[in-house]
């Protein structure tokens, strides 16, 4: 009998993938460094992850659908789109000044 793979929903500040806009109008997908993704890497053989979080950059509305499809199909990731100004205020303002010693992460098993 084949053992059932565990599944894990992860809702975090960042996706384990960072989008980088390229000069030609396309995007590269790079592994995010550090953080929760690196900590959970050891579970990846027995656990299927579904990630929700910010992909690291604001994108034009015309690119949203194609990027959502690519992130879902390739990385099982759901981007939470934030304007760059809000992301900057969150990371350099709220998180740095109000939460300097804590990182909040919710992990939900399903």
Q: Are 50 and 6 in contact (CB under 8 A)?
A: no
Q: Does the pLDDT of residue 108 top 60, yes or no?
A: no
Is pTM, for the whole model, over 0.85?
no
- Burial of 65: CB neighbours in 10 Å, binned 0-12, 13-18, 19+: exposed
Q: Are 17 and 30 in contact (CB under 8 A)?
A: yes
Higher pLDDT, 99 or 27: 27
Give the mean model confidence (pLDDT) for residues 16-22: 93
Domain chopping of the chain, boundaries: 6-109
59-99: pLDDT as tens digits: 999 999 999 999 999 999 999 998 888 777 766 666 555 55
Report residue 95: phi and psi, to 5°. Answer: -65, -40
Give alpha helix (H) positions in the chain. Answer: 35-40, 61-75, 84-89, 95-98
**pLDDT score for 105:** 53
Alpha helix segments (H runs only) across 26-100: 35-40, 61-75, 84-89, 95-98
User: Using one digit for the tens of pLDDT, what is the confidence trace for 37-53?
Assistant: 777 777 777 888 899 99
């Amino acid at each position: 009998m084949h053992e059932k793979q565990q599944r894990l929903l992860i809702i975090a500040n960042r996706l384990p993938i960072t989008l980088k806009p390229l000069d030609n109008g396309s995007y590269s997908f790079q592994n995010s460094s550090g953080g929760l993704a690196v900590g959970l890497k050891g579970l990846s053989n027995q656990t299927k992850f579904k990630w929700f979080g910010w992909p690291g950059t604001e994108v034009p509305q015309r690119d949203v659908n194609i990027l959502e499809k690519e992130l879902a199909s390739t990385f099982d990731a759901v981007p939470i789109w934030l304007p760059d100004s809000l992301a900057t205020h969150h990371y350099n303002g709220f998180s740095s000044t109000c939460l300097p010693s804590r990182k909040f992460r919710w992990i939900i098993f399903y």
